[in-house]
Structure 1
Amino acid sequence: MSPVTAGGSAADGALRLPHYLLIAAVALLLLLPGFFTIPPFDRDESRYAQASHQMLETGDFVDIRFQEEPRHKKPVGIYWMQSAAVALLSDDGHGAIWMYRLPSLLGAVAAALLTAWAGARLFGPAAGLAGGLALAAALVLGVEARMAKTDAALLATVAAAQGVLAQFYMARGRPGMQPGTGVALAFWAALGVGILIKGPIILMVTGGTLLALGAADRDLRWLKPLRPALGVPLLLAIVLPWLVAIGIATDWEFFRYAIGHEFLGKAHSVQESHSGPPGYYLATFWLSFWPWSLPAVLALPWAWAARREPAVRFCLAWVLPSWIIFEAVSTKLPHYTIIVFPAIALLAAASLLDRANGADGAGAAGAPAPGQGARWFRGGAAGFYLLVTAAFAGGAVWFPYDLEGRVEPLAVAAAVAILGTGIAVAVFAARRQAERLLVAGLIGAAATYGLAHGAVLPRIEPMWLSPKVAAALEKHRPCPGTVLAAAGYTEPSMVFLVGTGTVLGAGDRVARHLLADPACALGLVTGEAEERRFREALGGAEPRLLEEIPGFNYSRGKRVVLRLYTLAPAAADPDQPRQQP
């Protein structure tokens, strides 16, 4: 009896504590490599981390700023989470970048656990366990878990809200099976926290799910036990205090920018050059959901044939409305669709288990057995998956080689792990060996991420310019209160590592900064145009070059040489810092 065609009986099981501990342990094994050692990324991660640091620095936990610039793109939730993590763990009030990443890591682990919880109710404990483990190993979640941003934390709230909806949806017409008030209130709390993290995105997911289910079932009476009379006030209690406070603090400018520019603006115009045609997410899915993109694609005929089954219908209602919206909006980034990946992971897991148990997708729902067309579909999907896997492996070797001019043995090992994982997944998918596919994918993902994130990426010296700038500043700092001004290289990671007071601007501004405090100020300049402005604005003053820092500015995709200058004369002992007068 398959999970889907069992009429709900197979879904009545529940995962036990050891299952959840296993998911959490596997998730940490997959997500921790590189978590502590990868330097701050540009640009979004460093902007979030710096804004959170400034909250601790200033004591203002209402307004959000990067240096003096208002940062009114997202609500305050992630900044509070990051600030709390740093306040608890840091002795100096600043904290290492990994402290700011903790909410993302915990959100990713929670999302895997909540996916398993929802899946156990929808498809049975085996599919729930497999789906939770699969989500933990998805490539895009691994990236987001290592970033001090909103998306992994948002995913946890989406998985929680959707998981509660799944519990109530599957209990329709079954007296005594309805979840209690506490579970219902968890839905509203998840919505509230999700809104504080990334605004109305969570409402889009949940609202799209409910609209799709309402259109398909012609019945939303199962929502009554969600206790909106209690839940809506709880949601408002979570979101309203800060919304009112930020409105007053910014004369309501936050809402004009966040809604008009950030939310609606992304829908009809491309922002920050992040564009793509319709179908963009179908193309990027092959890599973003690796190593599970092949079994997920192979689950499509199965899911369509079983679309009238409540569990499958719920997952499709979770995926399709949000996916269509993301494909329609102008601004696109590969990680946007992560909020529907829990449902995709569950569909892939349930399909694999169904086929491994002898049901053949469409045949499981009573449709004719698949013929030649289905075989061509599976063969084509497997071939394209292996092509993407090969490109992924090639990129893992080429990227460090292109930057450093040498073949990195650990990158080659990562490429071997990627290729081996892809081949194993394709073979076990063809053989319908669900357990072996899951184990091979998890082992391969662990090896890939351990090598790529844990060993290769932190060692690519040319791309980590900001840590080099911070080290050079400490080496050459003439005074305890030295402030750096920079032109040509103004990445947020440098501000995070060097200090909030770092001056960013053009070459002439760096010159004025040095002239205003020749004994203590330092300047950083790169690029011919900025160097020319810098020297012209200095007039007759001759800057002294302290250090050249070559590297690769990946935010702009070009090689650079950063030059650190001072107007102070050389000391007798250049390693002895000058004291501020």
Structure 2
Amino acid sequence: MPRTVGTPVLWILLASALTLFFVDLGGSSIWDANEAFYVETPREMLERGDYVFPTFNYEPRVNKPVLSYWIVAGFYKLFGDSVAVQRVPIAVGGVLLVAIAFFLGRLASQDPDDRGAVLRAGLWAALGFAVSPRLVMFSRRIFIDIYISLFMASTLLFFALAERYPRRRRTFLALMYLSIGLGVLTKGPIALALPGLVFFIYLLAHRELRRVSEMMIPTGVAIVLAIVVPWYAALYQRDGWTHIASFFLGENLGRYSDGIGYDTDRGPLFYLGVLFSDGFPWSILVFAACALWWRVSHRAPSTDPQPPVRTQTLLLIWIGAIVLFFSFSASKQDLYIYPVMPAIAALGGVVIAAAAPGVRWLTAVIGVLVAAGATGILYVFQASANTYNVDGVVIVSLAALAGGLTALGLSLAGRWQAGLLVFLASAVLVNWVLVLRVLPSFEKYKPVPPLTRFLESQAGADDVIAHYSVALPSMVYYLRRHIDVTYDRQTFIAIMRQPKRVFGILWTQEYDGLRKDFGIPTCALHRTPAFNIKIGAVIARAPLPELVVITNRCE
């Protein structure tokens, strides 16, 4: 593919992909459960005028540090509180992650003296990451994981820049420590521990542990403490060590060692699947990147590897160390390893720009996987047409199918770069249709908006609203009031028996089992379906599960 044709097309596709991050941000309601916390907690901060002690549902929420809430609260101050406003900084974080992939791809480019090749490596990296289905979705609803990924990836980038440009090392290291501090204030010590582990392994691999003295550690400690300590000091002044100890021992050590609060049945290979699904499409090129690194690193003198090879080494260590670290964790959540995705994208960009051996056939593999996935989606939604009638699914499936088959055909014909371009163009189209057609159409299957409208028309200020065995935290934001939430049967029965009028929300089958145990008359006031997107249930055309609003005042 000629450079004069390829580079402008890559820029156009990248601009189209990134523009989508800011389109129709308020078009869908809050996604339960995680997004609700980052919409409502900052709103309660503003309502209470307390920026030190976060609350959700007017109850303490100090299981995470405070920076995520501060960022959203700042946007609320400027633009008013709304779901769309909360999603703007998430979208900004997604775009910055793509920018980091771009710069890492440039730094790792095989031919640093060819400015065109360097640019193309960055563009391929950024574009592959920008069209990743997981990033497109996460950058519209998963605040904290986008931002911890952003700050950790920034830490990686500034370390790589410090390695590449020694004359500006102090500036880049200061920015690296700034990123670490912001990461610690976002999600805790993991933002310091994991980069520290990676950089230690990197220096050890190059037999350069003596260079630890060049890392400006005293300055770095001062920068991190200056960012982190003020909030922890204010929290300590308010409540002592209670919440701080709970966070460090429970949320960090307890979750890693014992899986506190999470299922622990995911095996040690869980993250291999996550790596390839969340990093798709360029995750398919990881083994080619390893082979390219091996070939080039063994061609160069082992005592003085070239800068791009050192950057590739750093990226591979970053991916391997983080994935291995969390593979031994008792609790495993897919987003834990999301900070490796910019590195995967960067290595994919390097492989494509260098036309590494095997990339033609890996392009064919991408085409096959995309075509198979599109066929599967089309089958699943057509099979469940009577249950889920969602606009745009056919367009999404056919566009992806066409892109995958074209990429396959062009790669088999030897025109694999053209095949990748067609695939990426189809991915951009798919994502636009997903945002503008599929997500708005899916709204009718989300239960909180209709439940909220009903409760607003029925519940008075002195009435009690309670949830039993159902996670609908976004209702707190929409109703702007406290909701009793319990998963304990006897507690819910006691709530329903109290003298006040109570509106309880639970699954219909739960109500059928509880009704005789209340010991008082109860009645169902309103029912609404909820989605269940487990593949087995969808294919089996299982009826939608149903939520019911009940009350202890049957008038």
Do they fold alike, i.e. is TM over 0.5?
A: yes
Q: 1:288 to 1:238 in 2, by over 3 A?
A: same
Q: Percent identity?
A: 23
- 2:477 is aligned to 496
Task: Say if 2:548 is the partner of 1:563.
Answer: yes
Residues 461-482 of structure 1, C-alpha deviation per residue, up to 9 Å, x if partnerless? 56301111112223x3364665
Q: 1:182 to 1:427 in 2, by over 3 A?
A: farther
Q: Which runs of 5+ in 2 are unaligned?
A: 1-6, 110-117, 298-304, 538-542
Whether contact under 8 Å (2:121, 2:353) holds in the other structure is yes
Report the Cα offset of residue 548 of structure 1.
Answer: 2.2
- 2:105 is aligned to 119
Residues 248-297 of structure 1, C-alpha deviation per residue, up to 9 Å, x if partnerless? 43432223322222222332334522642222222233322223333344
Which whole-Å CA distance do the structure 1 matches of 2:56 and 2:381 have between them? Answer: 31
Task: Say if 2:299 is the partner of 1:313.
Answer: no
Which whole-Å CA distance do the structure 2 matches of 1:415 and 1:111 have between them? Answer: 27
- 2:3 is aligned to none
- 1:516 is aligned to 500
- 1:279 is aligned to 269
Supply the AA of the counterpart residue of 2:177: W
- 2:338 is aligned to 338
Q: 1:277 to 1:395 in 2, by over 3 A?
A: farther
Q: 1:246 to 1:427 in 2, by over 3 A?
A: farther
Whether contact under 8 Å (2:14, 2:126) holds in the other structure is no
Tell me the number of residue pairs that the alignment of Structure 1 and Structure 2 aligns.
Answer: 520
Task: Say if 2:530 is the partner of 1:551.
Answer: yes
Which whole-Å CA distance do the structure 1 matches of 2:436 and 2:279 have between them? Answer: 20
Which one has more relative contact order, counting CA pairs under 8 Å at least 6 apart? 2
How do 1:120-519 and structure 2 match up within 5 A?
Answer: 120-123=106-109, 124-171=118-165, 178-179=167-168, 181-220=170-209, 227-270=216-259, 271-273=261-263, 275-307=265-297, 309-355=309-355, 360-361=356-357, 382-383=364-365, 386-387=368-369, 390-391=372-373, 393-395=375-377, 398=380, 402=384, 404-405=386-387, 408=390, 410-426=392-408, 435-461=417-443, 463-474=445-456, 476-477=457-458, 479=460, 483-505=464-486, 507-512=492-497, 515-517=499-501
Which whole-Å CA distance do the structure 2 matches of 1:350 and 1:393 have between them? Answer: 30
Residues 167-191 of structure 1, C-alpha deviation per residue, up to 9 Å, x if partnerless? 121235xxxxx22644332111111
Q: 1:47 to 1:269 in 2, by over 3 A?
A: same
Q: 1:542 to 1:138 in 2, by over 3 A?
A: closer
Report the Cα offset of residue 149 of structure 1.
Answer: 2.5
Q: Which runs of 5+ in 1 are unaligned?
A: 1-15, 173-177, 362-373, 571-581
Match of 2:95 among 75, 93, 109: 109
Supply the AA of the counterpart residue of 2:274: T
Report the Cα offset of residue 22 of structure 1.
Answer: 6.7
Which whole-Å CA distance do the structure 1 matches of 2:443 and 2:240 have between them? Answer: 45
Secondary structure of 1:235's counterpart equals helix
Report the Cα offset of residue 110 of structure 1.
Answer: 1.0
Which whole-Å CA distance do the structure 1 matches of 2:334 and 2:415 have between them? Answer: 30
Secondary structure of 1:452's counterpart equals helix
Supply the AA of the counterpart residue of 1:97: V
Whether contact under 8 Å (1:119, 1:131) holds in the other structure is yes
Supply the AA of the counterpart residue of 1:115: A
Q: 1:428 to 1:216 in 2, by over 3 A?
A: farther
Secondary structure of 2:546's counterpart equals strand
Q: 1:501 to 1:294 in 2, by over 3 A?
A: same
Q: 1:426 to 1:150 in 2, by over 3 A?
A: farther
Q: 1:278 to 1:31 in 2, by over 3 A?
A: same
Q: 1:477 to 1:414 in 2, by over 3 A?
A: same
How do 1:48-63 and structure 2 match up within 5 A?
Answer: 48-63=38-53
Q: 1:404 to 1:328 in 2, by over 3 A?
A: farther
Whether contact under 8 Å (2:25, 2:88) holds in the other structure is no
